[in-house]
Amino acid sequence: MIAVDPTLQAAAREDYEVGNLNGQVVVVVGGTGGLGQPITEALRRRNSTVITASRSLGADVKLDLRDSTAGDELVAYVKSRHHRLDGVVIAAGIVAFGDLVDTDDVTIEELLLTNTMGPLWLAKRVAPMLEESNGFFVNLSGVVAETPMPAMAAYSASKAAVSAATLALAKEWRRKKIRVIDARPPHTETGLATRPLHGTAPGMPEGLAPEVVAARIVDAIVNAERELSGADFGNG
C-alpha cells in the first residue's frame, strides 16, 4: 500500500477551505469531451492537477465506463502517480433521440450502462480515496433529469436515475466528508446532440457556451455547493 503524505493532505484541505484548489488532484472522466475539456482547463487554472479519463487515446487514463471495474484501474493509476485523490468529475455520457418504439434495445442498454451504471460503479471505487482527502464528487446529469423530454425517454431515464443516485450519495457520503454535487446543465453547445447513438436531435434553441457551464461547475466545487439545478446555470 502507498503511504499518503499527511502534510500534503493537510495543505490540500487548508487550500480547499480558503476556496482554492491549489495542488489538488482531480480526475475528469470525459475530460476529452465538449464539457470535460473546459472543466479540465478551469480546474487547471485554479492550479489543480487534472487527470483526464475516457475511451480516447488522448486521455491520461483510457477507460470505458461500461466496464464495472474501470474504476479499479483508475484508482491504481492515481495511487501510483499522485498518491491521493481530491476530486472526481464525471463529464462523460452519450445521447440518443427518437420515439422509444423505434429505439433498438441495445441503444437503450448503452444509455443506461454509460450514463447511469458507469458513474455508480466508478463512484463506489473512488469513494475510499475521496474519504481520505475529504474530497468532492461531481456528476453531470442534465436538465432532462428535472424535465424529461419526448424523443429522449431512455436518455431522460438514464439521467433522472443517475441524478437521484447522486443526490442520495450527497447525503450518504456526508459522514465520509465527501462533498457531492449533482449538476444538471441545460442544453450546451458541445456538439453532443450531433453525435447521437441513434436518431436525430429535435430542433433546439441555441444552448449555453461550454465555458460558461464549466465555470459554473468549478465555482460550485470551490464554494462547496451541493446541487446545481438547470436554473442555476442561468438558462433553466
Q: Minimum CB separation from ligand NAP for residue 44, in Å?
A: 16
| Interface region with ligand NAP, contact rule CB under 6 A, candidates 42-50, 55-63, 172-180, 215-223 | 55-63
Tell me the C-alpha distance between 231 and 222, whole Å.
Answer: 19
Tell me the C-alpha distance between 86 and 26, whole Å.
Answer: 6
Q: Which of 73, 187, 176, 91 is nearest to 139 (CA)?
A: 91
The answer to whether the beta carbons of residues 206 and 190 sit under 8 Å apart is: no
Q: Which of 51, 108, 142, 160 binds ligand NAP (CB under 6 A)?
A: 142
Closest CB to ligand NAP among 12 and 108? 108
**Binding flag, residue 47, ligand NAP (CB under 6 A):** no
Count of C-beta atoms within a 10 Å radius of residue 57? 7
**Residues 6 or more apart in contact with residue 133 via CB below 8 angstroms:** 9, 12, 13, 84, 85, 86
Q: Which of 217, 188, 178 is nearest to 39 (CA)?
A: 217
Phi, psi of 100 (to 5 degrees): -60, -40
Q: Kindly identify the residues of this chain, within the stretch 105-134, that bind ligand NAP according to CB under 6 A.
A: 114-115
The cell numbers describing 29, all together, are 472522466
Q: Minimum CB separation from ligand NAP for residue 21, in Å?
A: 20
**Binding flag, residue 32, ligand NAP (CB under 6 A):** yes
**Binding flag, residue 92, ligand NAP (CB under 6 A):** yes
Site string for ligand NAP, 189-228 (x = CB under 6 A): -xxx--x-----------x---------------------
**Binding flag, residue 65, ligand NAP (CB under 6 A):** yes
Chain residues binding ligand NAP by CB under 6 A are 30, 32-36, 54-56, 63-66, 91-95, 114-115, 140, 142, 185, 187-188, 190-192, 195, 207
